[in-house]
Amino acid sequence: MTLNRTKRSDDQALETIWTKSKRAVTKVTRMLHLKSFGERVPMQSKCEAICAELDSIKLRGVFRATKLLVEQHTIGTKWVFKIKRKADGAIEKYKARLVAKGFKQQYGIDYTETFSPVVKYVTLRMVVAITKYFDWTLDQLDVVTAFLYGEMKEKVFCAIPEGVEVDEDFDCFELVKAIYGLKQASRVWNETFYEFVCSSGFQVSDFDPCLYLKITSGECVLLLVYVLTVIGFHQYW
C-alpha cells in the first residue's frame, strides 16, 4: 500500500507525522484533562509520557498512514494514563498508553481468533520445583511495549489518535502491528513471540504451549510465558 500521493517515501511521511505530533503534545495534554495523573503532576511529566509512547509506536512501525475506502471503517483510540510506583510507593515514572476501542471491532472483519494461551499452573509448579532442586538460575523479565511487536494479520484501521497530526492526504491509520485494546492483541503477540523463540533454537512443549525448551551441549534453558511476562530458567553443564 502506498503511503501517500506526494511521492515521498514511507519513512519521510511518517517522520513528518511524528514531528508534527511532538509539537502538538502540549496542546493535546491540556485538552485531555489527565485526571488519572492528578492535578499536581507537572505538565512536563505528562508530555514526556505521551512522547515516550509515540516514540515506541514509531520505533515498532505500528501505523501506516492511508486513505479510508468507502467500504472500510475505523475503530477509535484513547489515551490511558498510569503512575508506576516503586515497592516503597515512590513514583518511578508516568506512563501513557494509546489504546484501541476494541469493543467496536466486528467479528470476521477486524478480527477472527482471539484465544491466547498462558502457562499452566501445574507446569509452573513442576518447573519451579525441579529447577529449585537442581539449583538452576532464574531470571524474570517483562517485555516493554510487548503488544507493539505483534504482526497484524487482519486489516484493521483506526482513527487518527488525539495528539497525532497527519497530512491532509490521509484520514486514518492502518495497523501494521497490534496496540493495546485490540481483541486479538494478546494472540498476535503470542504468535510473534513463538516465531521469534523458535527461530532462536527453542522448541515448544507438547504438554504446554507456553513452555519453551532449548538444550545444547553446554546448557539447558526453559522459558515460561504468561501474557507479557517471561520467566527463564537455565543451567550450564
* pLDDT at residue 6 is higher than 50: no
Give the tens place of pLDDT for each residue, 129-155.
Answer: 999 999 999 999 888 889 999 999 999
* Residue 90 domain flag: yes
* pLDDT at residue 37 is higher than 60: no
* Residue 92 domain flag: yes
Q: Which of 61, 235, 211, 62 is CA-nearest to residue 132?
A: 235
**How many distinct structural domains can be found in the chain?**
1
pLDDT for 121 = 94
Query: Is the model's pTM score more than 0.85?
Result: no
pLDDT for 15 = 52
User: Which residues constitute the domain of residue 18?
Assistant: 10-236
* CA-based R_g, the chain, Å: 21
